[in-house]
Amino acid sequence: AEVEIRGVEIETELRTERGFVFQAAASYLRNEFSEYRSFDPDQGTDLDLSNRNIADLTPDYTLNAAVQYSFNLSDGASITPRFGVYWQDDYDYIGGFSDEPPSECNQEAYSKLNARITWQSSDGDRLVSLFGTNVSDELILHTCIESGITGRRIQYKPPARWGIEATFLFGR
Report the C-alpha gap between 110 and 89 in whole angstroms. 7
Number of separate domains in the chain: 1
Q: What is the mean pLDDT for each group of 10 consecutive residues in the chain (172 residues)? A: 86 95 95 74 77 71 98 96 96 72 85 98 96 96 82 90 96 75
pTM of the model: 0.79
- Amino acid code (one letter) for 14: L
Quick one: which of 19, 89, 99, 93 has its CA closest to 52?
Answer: 99
Q: Which residues pair with 147 in a beta bridge?
A: 151
What was the pLDDT predicted at 67? Answer: 98
What was the pLDDT predicted at 53? Answer: 61
Report the C-alpha gap between 40 and 36 in whole angstroms. 13
| Neighbouring residues of 25: CB distance < 8 A, sequence distance ≥ 6 | 9, 10, 11, 12, 62, 63, 64, 65
| DSSP at 73 | P
What was the pLDDT predicted at 106? Answer: 84
Question: What 3-state class would DSSP assign to 123?
Answer: coil
- Residue 163 sits in which domain range? 2-168
Report the C-alpha gap between 122 and 100 in whole angstroms. 58
What was the pLDDT predicted at 153? Answer: 86
Alpha helix (H) residue ranges in the chain? none
